[in-house]
Amino acid sequence: MRNMIKRGNSYSVRFNVPEDRVQDVGRVFGAKNGRKTEIVRTLQTRDYREALKRRDVALAAIRATVDAKLVEEGLPPLSEDFTPEWWASPVKAVEAGHHYRQQIEQASDDYDPAEGLVPGTIAEGAPESEREHVRSVVTDLVLEASEKLPPAEGRRYFETVMGVVEGIATPLGPLADRWLDAQRRFRLTNGLISRHKRVLGVFGEYLLSVSGAGKGKPDAVFRTYPVQKVDKRSARRFREWLEEWKGANTVNSYLSSLRTFWTWLVDAGEAESNPWSGMSGGLKKQAKKEAIVNGRKRPFTEAELLALLKGEPTSRDPRMRMMIHEVFWMGLLTGARQNELCSLTVDRVIVPDRAGELWGIEVTEDEGKNDNAVRSIPLHPLIRPIIERRRAAAIATGEEDAPLFPECPPGGEDNKRGWTFSKHFLRYRKAVLGKAGRGTDFHSTRRCFSTFMEIALAHGATACTATVHDHLVGHHSERLAVNTYAAKQFEWPLYSDAILGMVDKGLPESVRAALNQKAHTRLNQKAHTETFKDR
């Protein structure tokens, strides 16, 4: 009964207001919520055939009344001849379907189809709930819109919108938008969210390549592709497609993003199962083989450390050259990550109350990679002068909690100071080590730190235990007794002994001598303070 409903024993006509005009019509009719989606008028007959005859005339009369009120308020009338181009757009059809589905889900369950009827009569043919009533209205609206399009486009529009409404062909686009919004609320880094977006874009490229559509936009294909069509077979074929042009680690990270997305879909009730579970099997072993060929990540060798300690960065700015060296030295003797060092501020410097205790630095929750990264690290006397001079210069600026490395302005997707340093150190490392340095990066300083701790322990530095090492580098211990029962923080002297023992019994003699020489030949206090001027 398109555009007709039966209330009690008589029929009424239902005029559906176009979606883009519900606010205008609601305004001229004085609707309480400012929107009017339909207008219902009685046809004054109980006979179905007679109601059909009267329906079109009644609809025309309602439209004329609506047009007159709109014109009276200075608004354009409804036009039968206008066919919006966006009705034929798959993306707009998806949006319309989600909008209608929300309207149905938000409908009240308190609807009484027999309300207002004469006692004893039966509301034959009337919807049994408000949701059924809204669903009926939606179906009429979508059918009416589809009939204004060419047959093929109209059929596609109707099937797309109703597929979303019925939950049998839910497109990925709006679901991905909800998921990414949820990730932002969880305070994921911008870099990780950007990676998720890239992965979804690549998945769209795959869907376009297998659709046979030829030219097209991957994003449009992805956004309209039904989540119900993504199964184990399509997931496996996507992995095989990726492996033709991506390395194992990249493939694994892409599959991880999609697995995370589908986990959210399952939790949200939008998917029945996760087709990406178990899809990464064998990739870690494959990545190890690729690492052997391409250069496995490793610590710096003794010769490489000496070359980097004695080399001179090519930057024209003497402040940048000094910064590159000092962050590198600190990384080597603290095991801290590059952004943890570059983001140091006055308040994150630990100045002990008692003479003879080591100074230190704090890694806070804001700058740490994870919960385990929040920690305090003692500073060996060889690098303490760096922090002392920079702290004094930072305080002299008068800025509240001034940065110790102002040469590293925030940058990159996550607006981190380590982003600036990373670019400069990459150029310096390649200039000094060349191809021989394959497999190294700044993280190699952390690998060196761990290596030196192990060597020191073997040579009798009893404080350099595995647990202390985990605390200093900010790692989660794999031992149950440690990560469950042991204290999460030890006494400062124990950490200090570990740092002193690591340098004394773990560092190669030549490297220790080079660091000692550098510590005594650094620029004087005045030159160092100039680092913080004219920032």
Q: How confident is the model at residue 215 (pLDDT cuts 50, 70, 90)?
A: low
**DSSP code of residue 373:** G
Quick one: how far is CA 419 from the chain centroid?
19
In the chain, % of residues over pLDDT 70 = 87
Most confident stretch, 186-190, 208-212, 240-244: 240-244
Which CATH number among 1.10.150, 1.10.286, 3.30.450, 1.10.10 corresponds to the domain 172-294?
A: 1.10.150
302-532 — its CATH code? Answer: 1.10.443.10
Q: First CA to last CA across the chain, in angstroms?
A: 74
pLDDT of amino acid 100? 85
Question: What would the pLDDT profile of 98-113 be if each residue is shown by its tens digit?
Answer: 788 888 888 766 655 5
* DSSP-derived secondary structure for 428-493: HHHHHHGGGGTT--TTHHHHHHHHHHHHHHHTT-TT--HHHHHHHHT---S-HIIIIIS-SS--HH
DSSP H or E segment with residue 146: helix 130-146
- What pLDDT shows up at residue 112? 53
pLDDT of residue 481: 63
- Rounded distance, CA 188 to CA 343, Å? 19
One fold for both 172-294 and 302-532? no
Rounded mean pLDDT, 25-34: 86
505-526 pLDDT, tens digit each: 999 999 999 998 877 665 444 4
Average pLDDT over residues 462-468: 94
Give me the residue spans of the domains in the chain.
4-166, 172-294, 302-532
Q: For residue 171, which phi and psi values (nearest 5 degrees)?
A: -70, 155
What pLDDT was estimated at residue 523? Answer: 45
Q: What average pLDDT score do residues 291-299 get?
A: 72
**Is residue 342 over pLDDT 70?**
yes
Residue 137's pLDDT band (boundaries 50, 70, 90)? confident
Highest average pLDDT, of 29-38, 67-76, 163-172, 432-441, comes from 432-441
